[in-house]
Amino acid sequence: MELSYFHVADDFPQGQEPEAAVVIDVLRATTTIACALNNGAEAVETFADLDKLKRRSDEWLKTSRVLVGERGGKRIKGFDLGNSPIDVVPELVSGKRLFMSTTNGTRSLQAARKARNLYTLALPNRKAVAEKILSCETSQLFILGSGWEGSYSLEDSLAAGSLASFLLDHAEDKINIINDELIAALALWNQWSNEIEACLRTASHGRRLSGLGNHDADFTCCSQLDTLHVVPTQVEPGVISAA
């Protein structure tokens, strides 16, 4: 399996339809997606464009939808929830479709949506996604981070390194790391794997989030490793459900 890592949406190879792709936004979109699906959400439909989200969500009954929106780390006015994994509790999301737009993560999902198999990964569901990838025996995997407004993020590279590390540990003879970005992500994981939450708090996005208020519960949730068994999978363009 050939593995490549791309830091942000704009780095993703245009015009390609990779066999498989994984999108990462540790703080916090892909963590929120994993938690929402784990807590019974019917699906998460993602949008980079707010107008498209509003038009699409208007097709659903208010009782069967939840609007999840964030810009600059803050909940969008008029939306039910912001982008926090601790807010997508079963009593709010079970059986409902989430319509989601965030500053960074949904842009990366938009960039990668033509992949033949598309998954989202956060640290809590790393093992589940990695095992799914291994079971499919895919020959090519693109890993895409989300960064912050088009720039590199430490925490997404940490998670990319954690995924590559798991794959190497379980199928080293089948793994071929293609680019330096993923080699660097592996080195980052080796440095911080025993201090995950500290890494998230050290990252510029983590510091930015701390500056918006008390997000201790978010940091705790986002830094958990291999605690969720859900594999968020794109079932139609932009629509992610549990597998």
Q: Does the structure show a pLDDT above 90 at 243?
A: no
Model pTM score: 0.97
Residue 15 scores a pLDDT above 90: no
Tens-digit pLDDT profile for residues 152-167: 999 999 999 999 999 9
Hey, which residues does 120 pair with through a beta bridge? 23
Q: What's the pLDDT tens digit per position in 111-120?
A: 999 999 999 9
Provide the domain count of the chain: 1
Rounded to an integer, the average pLDDT of 76-87 is 97
HSE of 43, CA atoms in CB hemisphere, 13 A:
13
| Residue 150 to residue 95: CA distance in whole angstroms | 33
Q: What is the CATH number of the domain that holds 11?
A: 3.90.1560.10
pLDDT at 14: 86
Span 185-232, pLDDT tens digits: 999 999 999 999 999 999 999 999 999 999 999 999 999 999 999 999
Q: What is the mean pLDDT of the chain?
A: 97
Alpha-carbon distance values, 24 to 55, 149, 159, 175, 176 (Å): 26, 14, 7, 20, 20
Domain range spanning residue 175?
2-241
List of residues 6+ apart from 99 with CB closer than 8 A: 45, 47, 53, 56, 57, 60, 65, 66, 67, 68
- Long-range contacts formed by 58-64: CB under 8 A, 24+ apart: 60/97, 60/99, 64/95, 64/96, 64/97
| 116, amino acid identity | R
